[in-house]
Amino acid sequence: MKGILRMGLVAVAALAAACAPRERTLVLLSTNDMHAKIQNFPRLASAVEACRDTAQLVVLVDAGDRWTGNAYVDMAPTPGMPMIALMNELGYDVATLGNHEFDHGQAFLGRMIDSMDFEVVCANVVSDTCTFPQLPPYTIVDRDGIRIGFVGVVTNYEGPGHPAGNESSFAGLEFPDPQAMALKYAAELRPECDVLVLVSHMGDDRDAELLAKGQSQYDVVIGGHTHEEVDTLIGGTLLTQTGKDLRNIGVTTVRMKGHKVSGVDYRIVPLADYEPDILYQKQVEAYYADPELNKPVGRFGNAADKWGLANWMAAAVADEADADVGFYHIGGVRLDSIPAGGVSAAKVYGLEPFGTLVARMEMTPAQMRRMIVSKYNDPVNAKEAHRIDLISTTPYMIVTDAADNALDVQFPKLREGRKYKVAVSDYIYRNYKDMEYTGGEITDEKVADILLEELRDDSPLKIDNTPRQRVVRK
């Protein structure tokens, strides 16, 4: 009798084990803001393949800004294609748009999307133009019966109502509020999915703002745009971001019990930890074998740091426009340094990859002051506020209060009330708020061409690395 009872208990235990929810692990590998840094792609390939060798359920995701930042991609025979070809070969599954996807216009972006073997989702772009496809707001990926929903969103800005950039790039497109669209599709998709992921190019500040509302229903946010390394839990949702320039890969581990999420972990893994994949390395070397881009155009007589490069660019726009004062935005300076010696065309296009134009106008010191204070106190783009953004050929000092809000700007070399000829990048001209001026216009002169001409004609250039702008507390 006891033997029969034991057999019965064993059978019950076996049945219970068979009926228990199956435990599985899903791995989300993520990149963001790669900015065409294909030189790091061979290491990315090694990291992805290593994960696929050890984990069965893997999804590879990108959160936007795939190009603009490397001449070997941006100026390839088919611009942008080296990055897309590498992503296709590595087997990306899902991506959303970043603001820099629009840098070369809608027709270009439409062609690139047609070339992508992975799904591109974006819930807050509405297209009314034949040059740009209407993208799906989300997609569902199945891994061994686990249904993972991916919703995509891209940033917009309060003023223009679209990502920062040239107005012509956004004609016929509408960009509804990304937070509202993220919430809308979360509610719609949640019942259909086991795991729900927001692939966001809003920036971690706006991602956190969304999650703080407590209505998101997302398990994970794979973020981008602000170039930060982010790993935080808000209201039960994991918020992530890997930084920029393919320096890292994000590894999100989602533990499943049956079809329920039982836990989520995240690691930022430096790609320097991996040896380059040989086959991908050969492909990248082939893309870099461009004699025209590699040939030195001129020379720097000394090493230039970020301040020095910004000073050079501000002076270049001023000289081209025959202006008294030049301004350049620090976000448009895309290299941190250039060593002394030969400077190639590829290096210049890496420094200024946007095709930025020179704009000119007349401004008084009071109008310049208003522009600088408005940007320093920017309430919309918190990541760009409370720092020196506008590098200028004329020295100035920002005076702040104890909370680091700008109160005043002092110009020791300018005379109040006088009108000065001013030159700026067309990005500043189009996008900065509280700009007042007379006689404003955008010229056809490209900043990169001006820099190349200076290198050809005036080498070796002596770069002034001295900061001309500073902040003092009142």
CATH of residue 367:
3.90.780.10
pLDDT at 9 over 50: no
Q: How many residues does the chain have?
A: 474
* Tally of domains within the chain: 2
pLDDT at 182 over 80: yes
CA dist., res. 86 & res. 80, Å (int): 11
pLDDT of residue 128: 81
Report the helix count and the strand count for the chain, using DSSP H and E.
Answer: 14, 26
Range of the domain at 370: 296-473
- The predicted model scores a pTM of 0.88
The answer to whether residues 263 and 153 belong to one domain is: yes
The answer to whether residues 278 and 321 belong to one domain is: no
The residue from 256, 286, 316 where one domain ends is: 286
The answer to whether residues 389 and 452 belong to one domain is: yes
pLDDT confidence of 168, banded at 50, 70, 90? confident
CA dist., res. 321 & res. 183, Å (int): 47
CATH of residue 173:
3.60.21.10
Positive or negative CA dihedral for 345, 350, 351, 352? positive
The answer to whether residues 315 and 240 belong to one domain is: no
Give mean pLDDT, residues 263-276. 97
The residue from 286, 319, 352 where one domain ends is: 286
The answer to whether residues 230 and 363 belong to one domain is: no
Contact between residue 201 and residue 99 where contact means Cβ atoms under 8 Å apart: yes
The answer to whether residues 159 and 189 belong to one domain is: yes
pLDDT confidence of 4, banded at 50, 70, 90? low
